[in-house]
Amino acid sequence: MSSPGPLLQATAPDARKLSFRGEHLRRLSVLARYALEIRRLALVGIYHAGSGHPGGSLSCADILAALYGAELAIVPGEESDPHRDRFVLSKGHAAPALYAAWAACGYIEKEAVRSLRKLASPYQGHPHVKDTPLAETSTGSLGQGFSVAIGMALGLRHLKSPARVYTLLGDGELQEGQVWEGAMFAAHRGLGNLLAIIDYNKMQSDDLNANILGLEPLAEKWRAFGWNVQEIDGHDLSAILEAFQRASQATGQPSVIIAHTRKGRGVAFMEGKPAWHGSVKLKDAEIQTALAGLGLGESEIGSYLNGSIG
Protein backbone atom coordinates (compact mmCIF):
# COMPACT_ATOMS: atom_id res chain seq x y z
CA MET A 1 0.00 0.00 0.00
CA SER A 2 2.67 2.46 1.03
CA SER A 3 5.58 0.94 -0.86
CA PRO A 4 8.16 3.42 -2.13
CA GLY A 5 7.21 4.96 -5.42
CA PRO A 6 5.61 8.00 -6.92
CA LEU A 7 2.85 9.70 -5.02
CA LEU A 8 -0.72 9.22 -6.04
CA GLN A 9 -1.00 11.28 -9.19
CA ALA A 10 -3.31 14.25 -9.08
CA THR A 11 -5.79 13.17 -11.71
CA ALA A 12 -9.25 14.23 -12.71
CA PRO A 13 -12.06 12.06 -11.32
CA ASP A 14 -12.06 8.75 -13.10
CA ALA A 15 -14.95 8.89 -15.55
CA ARG A 16 -15.61 5.17 -15.51
CA LYS A 17 -15.90 5.12 -11.75
CA LEU A 18 -18.29 8.04 -11.71
CA SER A 19 -20.48 6.27 -14.22
CA PHE A 20 -20.33 3.28 -11.88
CA ARG A 21 -21.68 5.50 -9.16
CA GLY A 22 -24.50 6.44 -11.49
CA GLU A 23 -25.26 2.87 -12.42
CA HIS A 24 -25.48 2.07 -8.77
CA LEU A 25 -28.14 4.65 -8.07
CA ARG A 26 -30.59 1.87 -7.62
CA ARG A 27 -34.23 2.13 -7.05
CA LEU A 28 -35.21 2.30 -3.42
CA SER A 29 -36.83 -1.11 -3.60
CA VAL A 30 -33.46 -2.63 -4.44
CA LEU A 31 -31.84 -0.86 -1.50
CA ALA A 32 -34.65 -2.04 0.74
CA ARG A 33 -33.89 -5.59 -0.35
CA TYR A 34 -30.21 -5.05 0.47
CA ALA A 35 -31.13 -3.73 3.91
CA LEU A 36 -33.34 -6.74 4.58
CA GLU A 37 -30.57 -9.06 3.44
CA ILE A 38 -28.04 -7.27 5.67
CA ARG A 39 -30.28 -7.86 8.68
CA ARG A 40 -30.69 -11.55 7.86
CA LEU A 41 -27.02 -12.17 7.18
CA ALA A 42 -25.82 -10.24 10.24
CA LEU A 43 -28.01 -12.40 12.46
CA VAL A 44 -26.91 -15.59 10.69
CA GLY A 45 -23.33 -14.62 11.46
CA ILE A 46 -24.05 -13.87 15.10
CA TYR A 47 -25.99 -17.14 15.44
CA HIS A 48 -23.11 -19.23 14.08
CA ALA A 49 -20.51 -17.31 16.06
CA GLY A 50 -22.40 -17.84 19.30
CA SER A 51 -21.68 -14.20 20.12
CA GLY A 52 -21.81 -10.73 18.58
CA HIS A 53 -23.75 -7.47 18.81
CA PRO A 54 -27.17 -7.67 17.13
CA GLY A 55 -28.81 -4.46 18.38
CA GLY A 56 -26.40 -1.99 16.83
CA SER A 57 -25.97 -4.14 13.72
CA LEU A 58 -29.68 -4.02 12.97
CA SER A 59 -30.00 -0.29 13.65
CA CYS A 60 -27.46 0.62 10.94
CA ALA A 61 -28.53 -1.85 8.24
CA ASP A 62 -30.39 0.74 6.15
CA ILE A 63 -27.46 3.16 6.32
CA LEU A 64 -25.05 0.45 5.17
CA ALA A 65 -27.41 -0.58 2.36
CA ALA A 66 -27.53 2.99 1.10
CA LEU A 67 -23.75 3.37 1.37
CA TYR A 68 -22.65 0.18 -0.36
CA GLY A 69 -25.70 -0.07 -2.58
CA ALA A 70 -25.75 3.46 -3.97
CA GLU A 71 -23.25 5.93 -2.59
CA LEU A 72 -19.72 4.57 -2.29
CA ALA A 73 -17.57 4.59 -5.43
CA ILE A 74 -15.93 1.25 -4.77
CA VAL A 75 -16.00 -1.14 -7.72
CA PRO A 76 -16.21 -4.82 -6.70
CA GLY A 77 -12.93 -6.41 -7.76
CA GLU A 78 -11.14 -3.05 -7.80
CA GLU A 79 -11.09 -2.40 -4.08
CA SER A 80 -7.44 -1.29 -4.17
CA ASP A 81 -8.07 1.60 -6.59
CA PRO A 82 -6.34 4.54 -4.86
CA HIS A 83 -9.17 6.85 -5.92
CA ARG A 84 -11.93 4.69 -4.42
CA ASP A 85 -14.16 6.15 -1.76
CA ARG A 86 -13.37 4.96 1.78
CA PHE A 87 -15.83 3.73 4.36
CA VAL A 88 -14.71 3.21 7.97
CA LEU A 89 -16.98 1.46 10.45
CA SER A 90 -15.90 3.38 13.54
CA LYS A 91 -18.52 1.55 15.63
CA GLY A 92 -16.57 -1.64 15.01
CA HIS A 93 -18.89 -3.83 17.06
CA ALA A 94 -21.39 -3.63 14.19
CA ALA A 95 -18.97 -5.81 12.19
CA PRO A 96 -21.68 -8.45 11.57
CA ALA A 97 -23.65 -5.82 9.63
CA LEU A 98 -20.54 -4.65 7.76
CA TYR A 99 -19.72 -8.15 6.52
CA ALA A 100 -23.40 -8.69 5.76
CA ALA A 101 -23.40 -5.48 3.69
CA TRP A 102 -20.39 -6.69 1.71
CA ALA A 103 -22.18 -9.98 1.15
CA ALA A 104 -25.51 -8.40 0.22
CA CYS A 105 -23.85 -5.98 -2.23
CA GLY A 106 -21.62 -8.50 -3.97
CA TYR A 107 -18.17 -7.91 -2.50
CA ILE A 108 -17.99 -11.32 -0.78
CA GLU A 109 -19.93 -14.59 -0.85
CA LYS A 110 -23.03 -14.61 1.32
CA GLU A 111 -22.09 -17.91 2.93
CA ALA A 112 -18.90 -16.27 4.27
CA VAL A 113 -20.84 -14.54 7.05
CA ARG A 114 -21.22 -17.90 8.78
CA SER A 115 -17.51 -17.85 9.65
CA LEU A 116 -17.92 -14.69 11.76
CA ARG A 117 -15.63 -14.77 14.80
CA LYS A 118 -14.15 -18.18 13.89
CA LEU A 119 -10.42 -18.84 14.29
CA ALA A 120 -9.46 -19.37 10.66
CA SER A 121 -11.86 -16.73 9.33
CA PRO A 122 -10.93 -13.21 8.19
CA TYR A 123 -14.22 -11.96 9.65
CA GLN A 124 -13.17 -11.12 13.20
CA GLY A 125 -15.49 -9.86 15.90
CA HIS A 126 -14.36 -6.34 15.05
CA PRO A 127 -13.04 -5.40 11.57
CA HIS A 128 -9.32 -5.87 10.92
CA VAL A 129 -7.89 -4.32 7.78
CA LYS A 130 -5.12 -6.90 7.45
CA ASP A 131 -7.76 -9.65 7.26
CA THR A 132 -10.30 -7.71 5.19
CA PRO A 133 -8.77 -4.79 3.23
CA LEU A 134 -12.22 -3.40 2.45
CA ALA A 135 -12.51 -2.49 6.16
CA GLU A 136 -9.92 0.24 5.31
CA THR A 137 -8.68 0.28 8.92
CA SER A 138 -9.00 -1.78 12.07
CA THR A 139 -11.63 -0.66 14.54
CA GLY A 140 -13.18 -1.85 17.77
CA SER A 141 -11.86 0.78 20.17
CA LEU A 142 -14.43 3.54 19.93
CA GLY A 143 -13.41 6.92 18.56
CA GLN A 144 -10.38 5.71 16.66
CA GLY A 145 -12.02 4.85 13.34
CA PHE A 146 -13.37 8.40 13.17
CA SER A 147 -9.87 9.84 13.57
CA VAL A 148 -8.42 7.41 11.04
CA ALA A 149 -11.13 8.49 8.59
CA ILE A 150 -10.14 12.10 9.26
CA GLY A 151 -6.53 11.21 8.47
CA MET A 152 -7.65 9.53 5.24
CA ALA A 153 -9.71 12.58 4.23
CA LEU A 154 -6.78 14.88 4.99
CA GLY A 155 -4.38 12.63 3.11
CA LEU A 156 -6.64 12.24 0.07
CA ARG A 157 -7.09 16.00 -0.11
CA HIS A 158 -3.32 16.40 0.27
CA LEU A 159 -2.90 14.05 -2.70
CA LYS A 160 -5.61 15.91 -4.66
CA SER A 161 -7.72 12.77 -4.96
CA PRO A 162 -11.43 13.16 -5.75
CA ALA A 163 -12.29 10.31 -3.38
CA ARG A 164 -14.58 10.90 -0.42
CA VAL A 165 -14.38 9.38 3.07
CA TYR A 166 -17.40 8.09 4.98
CA THR A 167 -17.50 6.88 8.55
CA LEU A 168 -20.25 5.49 10.76
CA LEU A 169 -20.18 6.18 14.50
CA GLY A 170 -22.31 4.87 17.30
CA ASP A 171 -24.02 7.21 19.72
CA GLY A 172 -22.30 5.81 22.81
CA GLU A 173 -19.06 6.28 20.89
CA LEU A 174 -19.57 10.04 21.09
CA GLN A 175 -18.72 9.83 24.78
CA GLU A 176 -15.08 9.24 23.82
CA GLY A 177 -13.10 12.47 24.07
CA GLN A 178 -11.15 11.55 20.96
CA VAL A 179 -14.27 12.07 18.85
CA TRP A 180 -14.40 15.73 19.84
CA GLU A 181 -10.69 16.19 19.21
CA GLY A 182 -11.36 14.89 15.72
CA ALA A 183 -14.52 16.94 15.28
CA MET A 184 -12.61 20.11 16.10
CA PHE A 185 -9.76 19.18 13.78
CA ALA A 186 -11.89 18.21 10.76
CA ALA A 187 -13.83 21.47 10.93
CA HIS A 188 -10.67 23.54 11.47
CA ARG A 189 -9.20 21.94 8.35
CA GLY A 190 -12.44 22.31 6.36
CA LEU A 191 -12.52 18.66 5.33
CA GLY A 192 -15.40 18.81 2.85
CA ASN A 193 -14.55 15.32 1.58
CA LEU A 194 -15.56 13.80 4.92
CA LEU A 195 -19.02 12.58 5.89
CA ALA A 196 -19.72 11.17 9.34
CA ILE A 197 -22.96 9.34 10.04
CA ILE A 198 -24.19 8.77 13.58
CA ASP A 199 -26.31 5.70 14.21
CA TYR A 200 -28.38 7.40 16.88
CA ASN A 201 -30.34 4.49 18.35
CA LYS A 202 -30.28 6.15 21.80
CA MET A 203 -28.96 3.08 23.58
CA GLN A 204 -25.60 1.73 24.60
CA SER A 205 -24.35 -1.37 26.32
CA ASP A 206 -25.86 -0.93 29.73
CA ASP A 207 -28.73 1.50 29.33
CA LEU A 208 -30.06 4.52 27.46
CA ASN A 209 -27.44 7.12 26.51
CA ALA A 210 -29.50 9.59 28.51
CA ASN A 211 -28.99 7.55 31.69
CA ILE A 212 -25.32 6.77 31.13
CA LEU A 213 -23.87 10.06 29.87
CA GLY A 214 -26.30 12.24 27.96
CA LEU A 215 -25.49 13.45 24.44
CA GLU A 216 -28.13 16.11 23.92
CA PRO A 217 -28.31 18.66 22.48
CA LEU A 218 -26.43 16.62 19.90
CA ALA A 219 -27.08 18.54 16.68
CA GLU A 220 -26.20 21.79 18.43
CA LYS A 221 -22.92 20.29 19.60
CA TRP A 222 -21.89 19.37 16.05
CA ARG A 223 -22.99 22.75 14.71
CA ALA A 224 -21.00 24.47 17.41
CA PHE A 225 -17.98 22.41 16.38
CA GLY A 226 -18.33 23.77 12.83
CA TRP A 227 -19.95 20.87 11.01
CA ASN A 228 -22.67 20.82 8.36
CA VAL A 229 -25.42 18.98 10.26
CA GLN A 230 -28.46 17.08 9.01
CA GLU A 231 -30.94 15.06 11.05
CA ILE A 232 -32.89 12.29 9.37
CA ASP A 233 -34.83 9.11 9.97
CA GLY A 234 -32.05 6.53 9.63
CA HIS A 235 -34.45 3.87 8.40
CA ASP A 236 -35.83 6.00 5.53
CA LEU A 237 -33.70 5.06 2.52
CA SER A 238 -34.90 7.98 0.49
CA ALA A 239 -34.00 10.39 3.28
CA ILE A 240 -30.55 8.77 3.63
CA LEU A 241 -29.81 9.17 -0.09
CA GLU A 242 -30.99 12.77 -0.09
CA ALA A 243 -28.82 13.52 2.93
CA PHE A 244 -25.80 12.00 1.16
CA GLN A 245 -26.52 14.23 -1.81
CA ARG A 246 -26.79 17.39 0.30
CA ALA A 247 -23.63 16.49 2.23
CA SER A 248 -21.65 16.17 -1.00
CA GLN A 249 -22.43 19.81 -1.77
CA ALA A 250 -20.92 21.13 1.47
CA THR A 251 -17.42 21.40 0.11
CA GLY A 252 -15.83 23.73 2.63
CA GLN A 253 -16.71 21.90 5.82
CA PRO A 254 -17.18 18.33 7.03
CA SER A 255 -20.71 16.96 7.17
CA VAL A 256 -22.47 14.86 9.75
CA ILE A 257 -25.77 13.06 9.40
CA ILE A 258 -27.48 12.33 12.70
CA ALA A 259 -29.53 9.29 11.74
CA HIS A 260 -32.29 8.59 14.23
CA THR A 261 -32.61 4.84 14.40
CA ARG A 262 -34.05 2.09 16.54
CA LYS A 263 -31.87 -0.48 18.21
CA GLY A 264 -32.64 -3.99 17.01
CA ARG A 265 -34.72 -2.61 14.11
CA GLY A 266 -36.50 -5.32 12.14
CA VAL A 267 -36.60 -7.98 14.86
CA ALA A 268 -39.59 -7.43 17.06
CA PHE A 269 -38.25 -9.04 20.22
CA MET A 270 -34.99 -7.03 20.03
CA GLU A 271 -36.32 -3.60 19.12
CA GLY A 272 -35.68 -0.92 21.68
CA LYS A 273 -34.06 -3.25 24.21
CA PRO A 274 -30.52 -2.46 25.43
CA ALA A 275 -30.10 -6.10 26.44
CA TRP A 276 -29.61 -6.91 22.74
CA HIS A 277 -26.73 -4.44 22.41
CA GLY A 278 -24.04 -6.60 23.88
CA SER A 279 -22.38 -9.72 22.66
CA VAL A 280 -25.13 -12.31 22.85
CA LYS A 281 -25.68 -15.93 21.98
CA LEU A 282 -28.72 -16.44 19.77
CA LYS A 283 -30.69 -19.57 20.63
CA ASP A 284 -32.16 -21.76 17.86
CA ALA A 285 -35.67 -20.56 18.55
CA GLU A 286 -34.55 -16.93 18.55
CA ILE A 287 -32.80 -17.08 15.16
CA GLN A 288 -35.77 -18.94 13.68
CA THR A 289 -38.19 -16.31 14.96
CA ALA A 290 -35.94 -13.46 13.89
CA LEU A 291 -35.42 -14.74 10.33
CA ALA A 292 -39.12 -15.54 9.97
CA GLY A 293 -39.84 -11.97 11.00
CA LEU A 294 -37.41 -10.84 8.29
CA GLY A 295 -39.51 -12.54 5.64
CA LEU A 296 -37.95 -15.99 5.32
CA GLY A 297 -39.97 -19.19 5.08
CA GLU A 298 -38.98 -22.38 6.84
CA SER A 299 -36.92 -23.88 4.01
CA GLU A 300 -35.24 -20.54 3.31
CA ILE A 301 -34.25 -20.28 6.96
CA GLY A 302 -32.59 -23.67 6.64
CA SER A 303 -30.69 -22.47 3.58
CA TYR A 304 -29.55 -19.27 5.25
CA LEU A 305 -28.35 -21.12 8.32
CA ASN A 306 -26.67 -24.11 6.69
CA GLY A 307 -27.19 -24.31 2.95
CA SER A 308 -26.58 -22.28 -0.17
CA ILE A 309 -27.91 -18.72 0.06
CA GLY A 310 -29.39 -17.48 -3.18
Under the rule (CB under 8 A), what is the footprint of another protein?
1-4, 7-8, 82, 86, 128-130, 136-141, 143-156, 158-159, 161, 177-178, 181-182, 184-185, 188
3 state DSSP class of 219? helix
Nearest distance from C-beta of residue 105 to another protein, angstroms: 22
> Given the complex with another protein, which of 137 and 261 has the nearer CB atom?
137
In the bound complex, what is the minimum distance in angstroms from residue 177's beta carbon to another protein?
7
Q: Taking the complex as a whole, how short is the minimal distance between the CB of residue 61 and another protein, in angstroms?
A: 25
**Burial class of residue 269 (count of CB atoms within 10 Å of its CB; 0-12, 13-18, 19+):** exposed
Distance CA 296, CA 67 (A): 24
Q: Measured between alpha carbons, how far is 16 from 89 in angstroms, rounded to an integer?
A: 26
For CA atoms 127, 246, 80, 103, the dihedral sign is positive
Residue closer to another protein by CB (options 85, 286) is 85
Q: What are phi and psi of 212, to 5 degrees?
A: -90, -60
Residue 124 near residue 153, CB atoms below 8 Å: no
Q: In whole angstroms, how close is the CB of 158 to another protein at the nearest point?
A: 7
Q: How far apart are CA 184 and CA 196, in angstroms?
A: 13
Closest approach of another protein to the CB of residue 8, in Å? 6
Complex with another protein: residue 54 or 170, whichever CB lies closer: 170
Could you tell me which of 65, 71, 69 has the C-alpha nearest to residue 36?
65
Minimum CB separation of residue 185 from another protein in Å reads 6
Closest C-alpha to 32, from 244, 236, 233: 236
CB-neighbour burial class of residue 114 (10 A; exposed 0-12, middle 13-18, buried 19+):
buried
Residue 267: closest CA among 247, 249, 285: 285
The residue among 93 and 263 lying less far from another protein, judged by its C-beta, is 93
CB of 224 to another protein, least distance (A): 17
Nearer to another protein, 158 or 283 (CB): 158
The answer to whether the CB of 46 falls within 8 A of the CB of 282 is yes
Closer to another protein by CB, 177 or 252: give it: 177
> Hey, how many other C-beta atoms are within 10 angstroms of the C-beta on 232?
20
Q: Which helix (H) or strand (E) holds 194?
A: strand 194-200
224/268 with CB nearer another protein: 224
Q: How far is the CB of 146 from another protein (least distance, A)?
A: 8
Q: Which residues neighbour 33 within 8 Å (Cβ) at sequence distance 6 or greater?
A: none
Minimum distance from residue 184 beta carbon to another protein (Å): 7
For strands 228-233 and 86-89, give the pairing: unpaired
Instruction: Count the alpha carbons within 13 Å of 161 in the hemisphere toward its beta carbon.
Output: 21
